[in-house]
């Protein structure tokens, strides 16, 4: 890995997946002697809150809120 001019490195995808790191996760870099460790930061929000935050504004539909609510409330046993 190479450190870029901004002091950033890219964690290889395989390591991210293996260690459970996802886009948007908060991490901490900890000095441990001559080693730097990248660890998950203590969570201040729940996983669900982070998911909603990432998805907010991504939905695309031409339906109004009332139309969507009608769809959700409709009886599907007909």
User: 4 lies in a domain?
Assistant: no
User: 6 lies in a domain?
Assistant: no
User: 5 lies in a domain?
Assistant: no
Q: Tell me what pLDDT residue 78 has.
A: 52
Q: Tell me what pLDDT residue 58 has.
A: 86
User: 1 lies in a domain?
Assistant: no
Q: With helix as H, strand as E and coil as C, how does 3-70 read?
A: CCCCCCCCCCHHHHHHHCCCCCCCEEEEEECCEEEEEECCCCCCHHHHHHHHHCCCCCCCCCHHHHHH
Q: What is the mean pLDDT of residues 15-29?
A: 92
User: 66 lies in a domain?
Assistant: yes
Q: Tell me what pLDDT residue 5 has.
A: 95
Is 0.75 surpassed by the pTM of this model? no
**Could you give the number of structural domains in the chain?**
1
Q: What percent of the chain has pLDDT over 90?
A: 47
47-57 per-position pLDDT tens digit:
888 888 888 88
- Determine the structural domain holding residue 33 and report its residue range: 13-73
User: 46 lies in a domain?
Assistant: yes
User: 25 lies in a domain?
Assistant: yes
The pLDDT confidence band at residue 76, using thresholds 50, 70 and 90, is: low
User: 60 lies in a domain?
Assistant: yes
Is 40:25 a contact under the CB 8 Å cutoff? yes
């Amino acid at each position: 890995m190479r450190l870029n001019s901004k002091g950033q490195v890219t964690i290889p995808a395989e390591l991210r997946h293996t260690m459970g790191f996802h886009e948007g996760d908060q991490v901490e870099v900890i000095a441990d002697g001559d080693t730097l460790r990248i660890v998950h930061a203590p969570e201040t929000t729940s996983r669900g809150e982070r998911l909603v935050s990432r998805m907010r504004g991504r939905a695309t539909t031409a339906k109004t809120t009332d139309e969507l609510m009608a769809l959700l409330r409709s009886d599907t046993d007909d």
